[in-house]
Amino acid sequence: MRWTLKPKPDPEKVKSLSKALKVEPLIASLLVQRGIETYKEAEKFFRPSLDNLHDPYLMKDMDKAVIRIQKAIENEENILVYGDYDVDGTTSVALLSSYLKSYYPNVSTYIPDRYDEGYGVSYKGIDFAEDNGFSLIIALDCGIKAIDKVAYAAEKNIDFIICDHHRPGKEIPKAVAVLDPKREDCEYPYKELCGCGVGFKLIQALAEKRGLKLKDLLLYLDLVATAIAADIVPITGENRILAHYGLKVINSNPRTGMQAILKQVKKETLTITDVVFIIAPRINAAGRMKHGNHAVTLLTEIDPEKAEIFAAEIETFNTDRREADKQITEEALQQIIQNKEEERKTTVVYQENWHKGVIGIVASRLTETYYRPTLVFTKSGEKLAASARSVKGFDVYNALECCAEHIEQFGGHMYAAGLTLFENDFENFKNEFERVVSETIEPHLLTPEIKIDAEINLQDITPKFYRILKQFAPFGPGNMTPTFMTQNLMDTGWGKCVGEDKTHLRVVVKQGNSNQFTGIGFSMAEKSDIACSGKPFKATYCIDENEWQGNISLQLRLKDIRE
Protein backbone atom coordinates (compact mmCIF):
# COMPACT_ATOMS: atom_id res chain seq x y z
CA MET A 1 0.00 0.00 0.00
CA ARG A 2 1.13 3.56 -0.79
CA TRP A 3 0.21 5.99 1.98
CA THR A 4 -0.43 9.47 0.59
CA LEU A 5 -1.11 12.23 3.08
CA LYS A 6 -3.26 14.86 1.38
CA PRO A 7 -1.71 18.36 1.37
CA LYS A 8 -2.78 20.50 4.32
CA PRO A 9 -5.31 23.08 3.16
CA ASP A 10 -4.70 26.86 3.38
CA PRO A 11 -4.58 27.65 7.17
CA GLU A 12 -6.35 31.01 6.63
CA LYS A 13 -9.28 29.32 4.86
CA VAL A 14 -9.46 26.71 7.64
CA LYS A 15 -9.40 29.38 10.34
CA SER A 16 -12.09 31.45 8.60
CA LEU A 17 -14.41 28.45 8.05
CA SER A 18 -13.82 27.15 11.60
CA LYS A 19 -14.93 30.53 12.94
CA ALA A 20 -17.94 30.87 10.59
CA LEU A 21 -19.27 27.36 11.39
CA LYS A 22 -18.18 27.32 15.06
CA VAL A 23 -16.45 23.94 14.53
CA GLU A 24 -12.99 22.74 15.49
CA PRO A 25 -10.18 23.35 12.95
CA LEU A 26 -9.92 19.62 12.13
CA ILE A 27 -13.53 19.55 10.84
CA ALA A 28 -12.98 22.83 8.94
CA SER A 29 -9.80 21.37 7.41
CA LEU A 30 -11.67 18.27 6.16
CA LEU A 31 -14.30 20.53 4.58
CA VAL A 32 -11.77 22.80 2.85
CA GLN A 33 -10.10 19.66 1.42
CA ARG A 34 -13.49 18.89 -0.15
CA GLY A 35 -13.69 22.35 -1.74
CA ILE A 36 -16.06 23.75 0.89
CA GLU A 37 -14.70 27.13 1.95
CA THR A 38 -17.66 29.32 2.93
CA TYR A 39 -20.64 29.16 5.27
CA LYS A 40 -22.99 29.03 2.24
CA GLU A 41 -21.10 26.12 0.65
CA ALA A 42 -21.10 24.27 3.99
CA GLU A 43 -24.85 24.81 4.30
CA LYS A 44 -25.38 23.26 0.82
CA PHE A 45 -23.12 20.36 1.80
CA PHE A 46 -24.69 19.57 5.18
CA ARG A 47 -28.27 20.36 4.14
CA PRO A 48 -28.77 19.05 0.60
CA SER A 49 -31.86 20.71 -0.90
CA LEU A 50 -34.04 19.80 -3.86
CA ASP A 51 -34.08 23.54 -4.64
CA ASN A 52 -30.42 23.21 -5.70
CA LEU A 53 -31.19 20.72 -8.49
CA HIS A 54 -30.57 22.21 -11.94
CA ASP A 55 -33.29 23.11 -14.41
CA PRO A 56 -33.71 19.95 -16.57
CA TYR A 57 -34.17 22.11 -19.67
CA LEU A 58 -30.51 23.14 -19.45
CA MET A 59 -29.75 19.69 -20.87
CA LYS A 60 -29.31 19.61 -24.65
CA ASP A 61 -32.40 18.20 -26.46
CA MET A 62 -34.58 18.06 -23.31
CA ASP A 63 -37.23 20.26 -24.95
CA LYS A 64 -37.29 17.95 -28.01
CA ALA A 65 -37.65 14.85 -25.79
CA VAL A 66 -40.57 16.33 -23.85
CA ILE A 67 -42.37 17.54 -27.02
CA ARG A 68 -42.03 14.06 -28.61
CA ILE A 69 -43.34 12.24 -25.52
CA GLN A 70 -46.28 14.67 -25.21
CA LYS A 71 -47.08 14.11 -28.91
CA ALA A 72 -46.98 10.32 -28.39
CA ILE A 73 -49.43 10.63 -25.50
CA GLU A 74 -51.78 12.93 -27.44
CA ASN A 75 -51.77 10.51 -30.41
CA GLU A 76 -52.16 7.45 -28.14
CA GLU A 77 -48.94 5.90 -29.48
CA ASN A 78 -47.34 2.89 -27.84
CA ILE A 79 -44.13 3.81 -25.96
CA LEU A 80 -41.38 1.26 -25.28
CA VAL A 81 -39.05 2.05 -22.35
CA TYR A 82 -35.76 0.27 -23.13
CA GLY A 83 -32.80 -0.13 -20.76
CA ASP A 84 -29.66 -2.08 -20.05
CA TYR A 85 -29.72 -5.19 -17.80
CA ASP A 86 -27.53 -3.83 -14.97
CA VAL A 87 -28.66 -1.88 -11.88
CA ASP A 88 -28.48 1.52 -13.57
CA GLY A 89 -30.43 0.26 -16.59
CA THR A 90 -33.15 -1.67 -14.73
CA THR A 91 -33.74 1.10 -12.16
CA SER A 92 -33.94 3.62 -15.05
CA VAL A 93 -36.58 1.52 -16.82
CA ALA A 94 -38.54 1.03 -13.58
CA LEU A 95 -38.33 4.79 -12.91
CA LEU A 96 -39.51 6.10 -16.29
CA SER A 97 -42.08 3.38 -17.00
CA SER A 98 -43.73 3.68 -13.57
CA TYR A 99 -43.82 7.50 -13.89
CA LEU A 100 -45.38 7.42 -17.40
CA LYS A 101 -47.84 4.67 -16.42
CA SER A 102 -49.08 6.86 -13.53
CA TYR A 103 -50.97 8.90 -16.15
CA TYR A 104 -50.70 7.08 -19.50
CA PRO A 105 -51.43 3.36 -20.05
CA ASN A 106 -49.73 2.57 -23.40
CA VAL A 107 -46.27 2.00 -21.96
CA SER A 108 -44.23 -1.23 -21.95
CA THR A 109 -40.66 -2.12 -20.97
CA TYR A 110 -37.85 -3.99 -22.69
CA ILE A 111 -34.57 -5.26 -21.26
CA PRO A 112 -32.20 -7.00 -23.72
CA ASP A 113 -31.05 -10.53 -22.93
CA ARG A 114 -27.40 -10.36 -21.82
CA TYR A 115 -26.56 -13.62 -23.64
CA ASP A 116 -28.71 -13.42 -26.75
CA GLU A 117 -28.53 -9.68 -27.50
CA GLY A 118 -25.63 -8.30 -25.48
CA TYR A 119 -25.22 -4.79 -24.13
CA GLY A 120 -27.25 -1.80 -25.27
CA VAL A 121 -29.80 -1.26 -28.03
CA SER A 122 -30.29 -4.41 -30.13
CA TYR A 123 -31.79 -5.11 -33.55
CA LYS A 124 -33.95 -7.76 -31.84
CA GLY A 125 -35.36 -5.09 -29.50
CA ILE A 126 -36.22 -2.85 -32.46
CA ASP A 127 -37.87 -5.78 -34.28
CA PHE A 128 -39.88 -6.45 -31.11
CA ALA A 129 -41.01 -2.79 -31.13
CA GLU A 130 -42.07 -3.03 -34.79
CA ASP A 131 -43.92 -6.34 -34.31
CA ASN A 132 -45.84 -4.94 -31.35
CA GLY A 133 -46.78 -1.54 -32.74
CA PHE A 134 -44.39 0.73 -30.80
CA SER A 135 -43.61 3.99 -32.59
CA LEU A 136 -41.39 5.52 -29.86
CA ILE A 137 -38.49 3.88 -27.99
CA ILE A 138 -36.95 5.68 -25.00
CA ALA A 139 -33.52 4.12 -24.34
CA LEU A 140 -31.97 4.59 -20.89
CA ASP A 141 -28.37 3.99 -19.75
CA CYS A 142 -27.47 2.99 -23.33
CA GLY A 143 -27.79 4.18 -26.90
CA ILE A 144 -25.14 6.89 -27.19
CA LYS A 145 -23.22 4.75 -29.72
CA ALA A 146 -26.24 3.04 -31.34
CA ILE A 147 -25.90 4.94 -34.64
CA ASP A 148 -26.77 2.00 -36.91
CA LYS A 149 -29.56 0.75 -34.63
CA VAL A 150 -31.27 4.17 -34.49
CA ALA A 151 -31.04 4.40 -38.30
CA TYR A 152 -32.51 0.87 -38.57
CA ALA A 153 -35.42 1.93 -36.33
CA ALA A 154 -36.00 5.07 -38.42
CA GLU A 155 -36.46 2.86 -41.53
CA LYS A 156 -39.31 1.19 -39.63
CA ASN A 157 -40.82 4.59 -38.63
CA ILE A 158 -39.80 4.12 -35.00
CA ASP A 159 -38.48 7.22 -33.24
CA PHE A 160 -35.77 7.12 -30.58
CA ILE A 161 -35.12 9.24 -27.49
CA ILE A 162 -31.77 8.41 -25.88
CA CYS A 163 -30.99 9.07 -22.17
CA ASP A 164 -27.39 8.07 -21.59
CA HIS A 165 -24.39 9.08 -19.49
CA HIS A 166 -21.60 7.20 -21.25
CA ARG A 167 -19.00 8.97 -23.35
CA PRO A 168 -20.21 9.56 -26.92
CA GLY A 169 -18.15 8.53 -29.93
CA LYS A 170 -17.26 10.94 -32.75
CA GLU A 171 -20.84 10.78 -34.05
CA ILE A 172 -24.16 11.17 -32.20
CA PRO A 173 -27.08 8.90 -33.24
CA LYS A 174 -29.75 10.64 -35.34
CA ALA A 175 -32.46 10.25 -32.71
CA VAL A 176 -35.31 12.70 -32.01
CA ALA A 177 -33.45 13.68 -28.83
CA VAL A 178 -30.14 12.59 -27.29
CA LEU A 179 -29.88 13.46 -23.59
CA ASP A 180 -26.33 12.95 -22.37
CA PRO A 181 -24.53 15.50 -20.17
CA LYS A 182 -21.21 14.18 -21.54
CA ARG A 183 -22.05 15.42 -25.06
CA GLU A 184 -19.49 18.06 -25.99
CA ASP A 185 -22.27 20.39 -27.17
CA CYS A 186 -24.29 19.97 -23.94
CA GLU A 187 -23.88 22.79 -21.44
CA TYR A 188 -25.67 21.06 -18.58
CA PRO A 189 -23.83 22.20 -15.41
CA TYR A 190 -23.40 18.74 -13.83
CA LYS A 191 -21.71 16.07 -15.96
CA GLU A 192 -21.62 13.09 -13.57
CA LEU A 193 -25.23 11.86 -13.55
CA CYS A 194 -25.79 8.10 -13.90
CA GLY A 195 -28.29 6.76 -16.48
CA CYS A 196 -31.10 6.74 -13.91
CA GLY A 197 -30.14 10.32 -13.00
CA VAL A 198 -30.62 11.38 -16.65
CA GLY A 199 -33.96 9.51 -16.59
CA PHE A 200 -34.93 11.45 -13.48
CA LYS A 201 -34.12 14.77 -15.22
CA LEU A 202 -36.51 13.67 -17.99
CA ILE A 203 -39.37 12.95 -15.57
CA GLN A 204 -38.57 16.23 -13.80
CA ALA A 205 -39.05 18.07 -17.12
CA LEU A 206 -42.23 16.11 -17.94
CA ALA A 207 -43.63 16.71 -14.44
CA GLU A 208 -42.99 20.45 -14.75
CA LYS A 209 -45.22 20.56 -17.86
CA ARG A 210 -47.97 18.83 -15.83
CA GLY A 211 -47.72 21.39 -13.03
CA LEU A 212 -46.14 18.96 -10.54
CA LYS A 213 -43.51 20.00 -8.00
CA LEU A 214 -40.19 18.28 -7.22
CA LYS A 215 -41.58 16.98 -3.93
CA ASP A 216 -44.17 15.03 -5.96
CA LEU A 217 -41.28 13.02 -7.44
CA LEU A 218 -39.57 12.17 -4.14
CA LEU A 219 -40.85 8.59 -4.13
CA TYR A 220 -38.87 7.84 -7.31
CA LEU A 221 -35.57 8.74 -5.66
CA ASP A 222 -35.06 5.32 -4.00
CA LEU A 223 -34.35 4.04 -7.53
CA VAL A 224 -32.04 6.97 -8.36
CA ALA A 225 -30.02 6.55 -5.12
CA THR A 226 -29.64 2.81 -5.82
CA ALA A 227 -28.31 3.52 -9.33
CA ILE A 228 -25.92 6.24 -8.06
CA ALA A 229 -24.51 3.82 -5.48
CA ALA A 230 -24.24 0.86 -7.88
CA ASP A 231 -22.73 2.78 -10.79
CA ILE A 232 -20.00 4.29 -8.54
CA VAL A 233 -20.52 7.82 -9.90
CA PRO A 234 -19.21 10.80 -7.86
CA ILE A 235 -21.43 11.67 -4.90
CA THR A 236 -21.04 15.39 -5.46
CA GLY A 237 -23.33 18.15 -6.75
CA GLU A 238 -26.71 16.87 -7.93
CA ASN A 239 -25.80 13.24 -7.21
CA ARG A 240 -25.29 14.13 -3.53
CA ILE A 241 -28.76 15.72 -3.35
CA LEU A 242 -30.43 12.82 -5.17
CA ALA A 243 -28.58 10.20 -3.06
CA HIS A 244 -29.41 12.04 0.19
CA TYR A 245 -33.15 12.12 -0.48
CA GLY A 246 -33.16 8.68 -2.10
CA LEU A 247 -31.61 7.13 1.02
CA LYS A 248 -34.30 8.80 3.12
CA VAL A 249 -36.96 7.15 0.94
CA ILE A 250 -35.21 3.75 1.13
CA ASN A 251 -35.10 4.01 4.93
CA SER A 252 -38.58 5.43 5.54
CA ASN A 253 -40.93 4.67 2.66
CA PRO A 254 -39.34 2.39 0.03
CA ARG A 255 -41.34 1.06 -2.92
CA THR A 256 -42.94 -2.35 -2.42
CA GLY A 257 -40.23 -4.24 -4.35
CA MET A 258 -37.42 -2.58 -2.41
CA GLN A 259 -39.23 -3.41 0.84
CA ALA A 260 -39.37 -7.07 -0.21
CA ILE A 261 -35.58 -7.10 -0.82
CA LEU A 262 -34.95 -5.51 2.59
CA LYS A 263 -37.17 -8.13 4.27
CA GLN A 264 -34.91 -10.84 2.81
CA VAL A 265 -31.76 -9.28 4.28
CA LYS A 266 -33.27 -8.00 7.56
CA LYS A 267 -31.33 -4.72 7.63
CA GLU A 268 -32.96 -1.64 9.10
CA THR A 269 -31.11 1.61 8.35
CA LEU A 270 -29.11 1.54 5.14
CA THR A 271 -26.14 3.70 4.13
CA ILE A 272 -24.88 4.15 0.55
CA THR A 273 -22.34 1.37 1.29
CA ASP A 274 -25.21 -0.96 2.26
CA VAL A 275 -26.98 -0.12 -1.01
CA VAL A 276 -23.76 -1.02 -2.91
CA PHE A 277 -23.28 -4.35 -1.11
CA ILE A 278 -26.85 -5.40 -0.26
CA ILE A 279 -29.44 -4.02 -2.70
CA ALA A 280 -27.36 -3.56 -5.88
CA PRO A 281 -25.97 -7.15 -6.13
CA ARG A 282 -29.49 -8.56 -5.82
CA ILE A 283 -30.92 -6.32 -8.55
CA ASN A 284 -27.87 -7.08 -10.69
CA ALA A 285 -28.17 -10.83 -10.10
CA ALA A 286 -31.37 -10.98 -12.18
CA GLY A 287 -29.62 -9.80 -15.38
CA ARG A 288 -26.46 -11.76 -14.57
CA MET A 289 -28.03 -15.15 -13.92
CA LYS A 290 -31.44 -15.09 -15.62
CA HIS A 291 -32.92 -11.93 -17.18
CA GLY A 292 -33.01 -8.23 -16.24
CA ASN A 293 -36.81 -8.31 -16.64
CA HIS A 294 -37.03 -9.96 -13.23
CA ALA A 295 -35.48 -6.85 -11.62
CA VAL A 296 -37.87 -4.45 -13.42
CA THR A 297 -40.86 -6.62 -12.47
CA LEU A 298 -39.82 -6.56 -8.80
CA LEU A 299 -39.10 -2.81 -8.74
CA THR A 300 -42.44 -1.90 -10.33
CA GLU A 301 -44.63 -4.38 -8.39
CA ILE A 302 -47.15 -2.81 -5.99
CA ASP A 303 -48.69 -5.99 -4.53
CA PRO A 304 -46.62 -6.92 -1.39
CA GLU A 305 -47.32 -10.68 -1.67
CA LYS A 306 -46.21 -10.83 -5.32
CA ALA A 307 -43.18 -8.66 -4.52
CA GLU A 308 -42.09 -11.12 -1.82
CA ILE A 309 -42.27 -14.02 -4.32
CA PHE A 310 -40.19 -12.03 -6.84
CA ALA A 311 -37.66 -11.00 -4.14
CA ALA A 312 -37.23 -14.64 -3.06
CA GLU A 313 -36.56 -15.55 -6.71
CA ILE A 314 -33.92 -12.82 -6.97
CA GLU A 315 -32.34 -14.02 -3.71
CA THR A 316 -31.86 -17.42 -5.39
CA PHE A 317 -30.24 -15.76 -8.43
CA ASN A 318 -27.91 -13.91 -6.06
CA THR A 319 -26.85 -17.12 -4.30
CA ASP A 320 -26.12 -18.73 -7.70
CA ARG A 321 -24.17 -15.60 -8.71
CA ARG A 322 -21.99 -15.80 -5.58
CA GLU A 323 -21.12 -19.46 -6.25
CA ALA A 324 -20.26 -18.82 -9.92
CA ASP A 325 -18.20 -15.75 -9.01
CA LYS A 326 -16.17 -17.72 -6.42
CA GLN A 327 -15.46 -20.64 -8.76
CA ILE A 328 -14.48 -18.50 -11.78
CA THR A 329 -12.24 -16.27 -9.66
CA GLU A 330 -10.36 -19.35 -8.42
CA GLU A 331 -9.99 -20.68 -11.99
CA ALA A 332 -8.79 -17.28 -13.28
CA LEU A 333 -6.17 -16.95 -10.52
CA GLN A 334 -4.97 -20.47 -11.33
CA GLN A 335 -4.69 -19.55 -15.02
CA ILE A 336 -2.50 -16.51 -14.21
CA ILE A 337 -0.15 -18.66 -12.08
CA GLN A 338 0.03 -21.51 -14.65
CA ASN A 339 0.83 -19.06 -17.48
CA LYS A 340 3.42 -17.34 -15.25
CA GLU A 341 1.82 -13.95 -15.88
CA GLU A 342 2.28 -12.43 -12.41
CA GLU A 343 4.87 -9.95 -13.74
CA ARG A 344 2.73 -8.46 -16.52
CA LYS A 345 1.29 -4.93 -16.31
CA THR A 346 -2.16 -6.25 -17.28
CA THR A 347 -4.34 -9.25 -16.52
CA VAL A 348 -6.15 -10.78 -19.51
CA VAL A 349 -7.78 -14.17 -18.93
CA TYR A 350 -10.17 -16.25 -21.02
CA GLN A 351 -12.15 -19.45 -20.74
CA GLU A 352 -15.01 -20.16 -23.10
CA ASN A 353 -17.46 -21.57 -20.55
CA TRP A 354 -17.18 -18.85 -17.88
CA HIS A 355 -20.55 -17.37 -16.99
CA LYS A 356 -20.94 -14.09 -18.88
CA GLY A 357 -23.05 -12.67 -16.07
CA VAL A 358 -20.23 -12.64 -13.51
CA ILE A 359 -17.09 -11.80 -15.52
CA GLY A 360 -17.36 -8.14 -14.40
CA ILE A 361 -17.28 -9.15 -10.74
CA VAL A 362 -14.39 -11.53 -11.40
CA ALA A 363 -12.48 -8.71 -13.15
CA SER A 364 -12.94 -6.59 -10.00
CA ARG A 365 -11.68 -9.43 -7.79
CA LEU A 366 -8.59 -9.97 -9.96
CA THR A 367 -7.89 -6.22 -9.90
CA GLU A 368 -7.98 -6.37 -6.09
CA THR A 369 -5.50 -9.30 -6.12
CA TYR A 370 -2.93 -8.13 -8.70
CA TYR A 371 -3.82 -4.43 -8.86
CA ARG A 372 -3.46 -3.82 -12.59
CA PRO A 373 -5.87 -3.17 -15.53
CA THR A 374 -7.84 -6.38 -15.99
CA LEU A 375 -9.96 -8.06 -18.66
CA VAL A 376 -11.95 -11.26 -18.22
CA PHE A 377 -13.15 -12.91 -21.46
CA THR A 378 -15.72 -15.60 -22.16
CA LYS A 379 -17.37 -17.00 -25.29
CA SER A 380 -20.53 -15.19 -26.39
CA GLY A 381 -22.06 -16.72 -29.50
CA GLU A 382 -19.55 -16.44 -32.35
CA LYS A 383 -17.47 -13.83 -30.52
CA LEU A 384 -15.63 -13.31 -27.24
CA ALA A 385 -17.04 -10.84 -24.72
CA ALA A 386 -15.07 -9.20 -21.91
CA SER A 387 -15.46 -7.00 -18.88
CA ALA A 388 -12.67 -4.55 -18.15
CA ARG A 389 -11.74 -3.01 -14.79
CA SER A 390 -8.97 -0.56 -14.04
CA VAL A 391 -6.83 0.73 -11.19
CA LYS A 392 -7.18 4.20 -9.73
CA GLY A 393 -5.77 6.90 -11.99
CA PHE A 394 -5.60 4.82 -15.20
CA ASP A 395 -8.16 5.27 -18.00
CA VAL A 396 -8.92 1.79 -19.35
CA TYR A 397 -11.40 3.23 -21.89
CA ASN A 398 -8.58 5.21 -23.53
CA ALA A 399 -6.34 2.12 -23.50
CA LEU A 400 -9.05 0.12 -25.30
CA GLU A 401 -9.42 2.93 -27.83
CA CYS A 402 -5.71 2.46 -28.67
CA CYS A 403 -6.42 -1.24 -29.36
CA ALA A 404 -9.53 -0.55 -31.45
CA GLU A 405 -8.23 -2.32 -34.58
CA HIS A 406 -8.51 -5.67 -32.72
CA ILE A 407 -11.92 -4.92 -31.15
CA GLU A 408 -15.33 -5.38 -32.73
CA GLN A 409 -17.25 -3.14 -30.28
CA PHE A 410 -16.59 -1.46 -26.92
CA GLY A 411 -17.99 1.14 -24.53
CA GLY A 412 -17.83 2.29 -20.93
CA HIS A 413 -16.03 4.59 -18.53
CA MET A 414 -12.54 5.37 -17.24
CA TYR A 415 -12.59 2.49 -14.73
CA ALA A 416 -15.02 -0.03 -16.22
CA ALA A 417 -15.79 -1.06 -19.79
CA GLY A 418 -17.17 -3.89 -21.88
CA LEU A 419 -16.07 -5.16 -25.28
CA THR A 420 -16.49 -7.87 -27.87
CA LEU A 421 -13.98 -9.19 -30.40
CA PHE A 422 -13.52 -12.13 -32.77
CA GLU A 423 -11.66 -15.16 -31.39
CA ASN A 424 -8.85 -14.93 -33.95
CA ASP A 425 -8.12 -11.37 -32.71
CA PHE A 426 -7.73 -12.42 -29.06
CA GLU A 427 -3.94 -13.02 -28.91
CA ASN A 428 -3.17 -9.87 -30.92
CA PHE A 429 -5.48 -7.85 -28.70
CA LYS A 430 -3.96 -9.31 -25.53
CA ASN A 431 -0.42 -8.39 -26.64
CA GLU A 432 -1.44 -4.93 -27.86
CA PHE A 433 -3.30 -4.18 -24.60
CA GLU A 434 -0.21 -5.19 -22.59
CA ARG A 435 1.98 -2.97 -24.81
CA VAL A 436 -0.36 0.08 -24.55
CA VAL A 437 -0.73 -0.20 -20.77
CA SER A 438 3.03 -0.84 -20.22
CA GLU A 439 3.92 2.26 -22.24
CA THR A 440 1.32 4.60 -20.74
CA ILE A 441 0.75 3.62 -17.09
CA GLU A 442 2.78 5.42 -14.45
CA PRO A 443 4.55 2.71 -12.36
CA HIS A 444 3.25 4.03 -9.01
CA LEU A 445 -0.36 3.43 -10.19
CA LEU A 446 0.31 -0.32 -9.95
CA THR A 447 0.53 -0.09 -6.14
CA PRO A 448 -2.76 0.50 -4.30
CA GLU A 449 -2.96 3.89 -2.64
CA ILE A 450 -4.48 4.93 0.66
CA LYS A 451 -5.26 8.63 0.61
CA ILE A 452 -5.08 10.01 4.14
CA ASP A 453 -7.11 13.12 4.93
CA ALA A 454 -5.25 14.04 8.12
CA GLU A 455 -2.87 12.84 10.80
CA ILE A 456 -4.65 12.96 14.16
CA ASN A 457 -4.23 11.78 17.75
CA LEU A 458 -6.62 9.37 19.45
CA GLN A 459 -7.69 12.15 21.83
CA ASP A 460 -9.16 13.99 18.80
CA ILE A 461 -11.73 11.21 18.39
CA THR A 462 -14.68 12.32 20.52
CA PRO A 463 -18.42 11.56 20.22
CA LYS A 464 -19.01 15.18 19.12
CA PHE A 465 -16.31 14.91 16.40
CA TYR A 466 -17.87 11.69 15.11
CA ARG A 467 -21.41 13.16 15.17
CA ILE A 468 -20.29 15.92 12.77
CA LEU A 469 -18.26 13.46 10.67
CA LYS A 470 -21.38 11.32 10.16
CA GLN A 471 -23.09 14.34 8.59
CA PHE A 472 -20.49 14.30 5.78
CA ALA A 473 -22.46 11.30 4.38
CA PRO A 474 -23.55 10.07 1.88
CA PHE A 475 -20.00 8.96 1.07
CA GLY A 476 -18.67 7.84 -2.28
CA PRO A 477 -16.34 8.98 -5.08
CA GLY A 478 -15.67 12.71 -4.72
CA ASN A 479 -16.63 12.54 -1.04
CA MET A 480 -14.98 9.46 0.43
CA THR A 481 -15.23 8.48 4.09
CA PRO A 482 -12.43 10.45 5.84
CA THR A 483 -9.30 8.36 6.41
CA PHE A 484 -6.93 9.21 9.27
CA MET A 485 -3.44 8.24 10.34
CA THR A 486 -2.18 8.01 13.92
CA GLN A 487 1.42 7.34 15.04
CA ASN A 488 2.84 5.76 18.21
CA LEU A 489 -0.03 3.37 18.85
CA MET A 490 0.49 0.59 21.39
CA ASP A 491 -1.49 -2.60 21.70
CA THR A 492 -2.78 -3.04 25.26
CA GLY A 493 -2.24 -6.81 25.16
CA TRP A 494 -5.65 -7.74 23.77
CA GLY A 495 -4.60 -7.92 20.11
CA LYS A 496 -5.41 -11.21 18.32
CA CYS A 497 -6.50 -12.81 15.05
CA VAL A 498 -10.26 -13.34 14.88
CA GLY A 499 -12.94 -14.76 12.59
CA GLU A 500 -13.80 -18.31 11.66
CA ASP A 501 -10.53 -18.82 9.79
CA LYS A 502 -8.57 -16.27 11.88
CA THR A 503 -7.97 -13.99 8.87
CA HIS A 504 -9.02 -10.73 10.58
CA LEU A 505 -7.10 -8.68 13.14
CA ARG A 506 -8.61 -7.17 16.28
CA VAL A 507 -6.55 -4.84 18.46
CA VAL A 508 -7.18 -2.64 21.49
CA VAL A 509 -4.86 0.36 21.26
CA LYS A 510 -3.94 3.52 23.08
CA GLN A 511 -1.61 6.42 22.40
CA GLY A 512 0.20 7.77 25.43
CA ASN A 513 -2.44 8.47 28.07
CA SER A 514 -5.37 8.50 25.63
CA ASN A 515 -8.53 6.44 25.93
CA GLN A 516 -8.40 2.93 24.53
CA PHE A 517 -9.94 2.19 21.12
CA THR A 518 -10.75 -1.13 19.51
CA GLY A 519 -9.50 -1.52 15.94
CA ILE A 520 -10.66 -4.12 13.46
CA GLY A 521 -8.67 -4.95 10.30
CA PHE A 522 -10.47 -7.25 7.87
CA SER A 523 -8.13 -9.72 6.10
CA MET A 524 -5.20 -8.16 8.00
CA ALA A 525 -4.14 -11.14 10.15
CA GLU A 526 -0.64 -11.03 8.60
CA LYS A 527 -0.12 -7.64 10.29
CA SER A 528 -0.49 -9.14 13.77
CA ASP A 529 3.32 -9.42 14.12
CA ILE A 530 3.58 -5.63 13.90
CA ALA A 531 0.46 -4.78 15.93
CA CYS A 532 0.93 -7.29 18.75
CA SER A 533 4.73 -7.07 19.17
CA GLY A 534 4.57 -4.65 22.11
CA LYS A 535 6.34 -2.03 19.99
CA PRO A 536 4.75 1.24 18.80
CA PHE A 537 3.21 1.23 15.33
CA LYS A 538 1.23 3.56 13.09
CA ALA A 539 -2.09 2.88 11.39
CA THR A 540 -4.47 4.32 8.80
CA TYR A 541 -8.16 3.89 9.49
CA CYS A 542 -11.71 5.19 9.21
CA ILE A 543 -13.84 5.75 12.29
CA ASP A 544 -17.13 3.93 12.62
CA GLU A 545 -19.55 2.64 15.23
CA ASN A 546 -19.61 -0.84 16.69
CA GLU A 547 -22.77 -2.19 18.28
CA TRP A 548 -22.32 -5.05 20.74
CA GLN A 549 -25.03 -6.30 23.11
CA GLY A 550 -26.93 -3.02 22.82
CA ASN A 551 -23.87 -0.83 23.51
CA ILE A 552 -22.56 1.47 20.79
CA SER A 553 -18.91 2.52 20.81
CA LEU A 554 -16.54 4.17 18.36
CA GLN A 555 -14.00 1.89 16.72
CA LEU A 556 -11.16 2.17 14.20
CA ARG A 557 -11.75 0.33 10.92
CA LEU A 558 -8.11 -0.36 10.05
CA LYS A 559 -6.87 -0.02 6.48
CA ASP A 560 -3.16 -0.63 6.97
CA ILE A 561 -0.50 -0.90 9.70
CA ARG A 562 3.22 -0.10 9.64
CA GLU A 563 6.05 -0.31 12.13
Q: Which of 450, 557, 429 has the alpha carbon at shortest distance from 504?
A: 557
The candidate with the shortest Cα–Cα distance to 350, out of 433, 454, 266, 247, is 433
The 8-class DSSP code of residue 476 comes to: B
pLDDT per residue as tens digits for the range 472-528: 999 998 999 999 999 999 999 999 999 989 999 999 999 998 889 999 999 999 999
Assess whether pLDDT exceeds 90 at residue 397.
yes
266: pLDDT strictly greater than 90: no
Domains observed in the chain: 56-313 (3.90.1640.30), 339-446 (3.10.310.30), 450-562 (2.40.50.460)
pLDDT at 267 over 90: no
Distance CA 100, CA 351 (A): 43
pLDDT in tens, 176-225: 999 999 999 999 999 999 999 999 999 999 999 999 999 999 999 999 99
Q: How does pLDDT run across 319-336, given as a tens digit for each residue?
A: 999 999 999 999 999 999
- Rounded-to-integer distance, Cα 320 and Cα 302, Å: 26
Closest CA to 65 of 109, 98, 36, 96: 96
* Of 151, 138, 202, 191, residue with least CA distance to 168: 191
Residue 272 to residue 275: CA distance in whole angstroms: 5
48 CB neighbour count, 10 Å cutoff: 19
Percentage of the chain beyond pLDDT 70 is: 100
Average pLDDT, the chain: 95
In degrees, to the nearest 5, what angle opens at C-alpha 279 toward C-alphas 273 and 280?
85
Q: Look at residue 550 in the predicted model and tell me its pLDDT.
A: 76
Summarize the confidence of residues 388-409 as an average pLDDT: 95
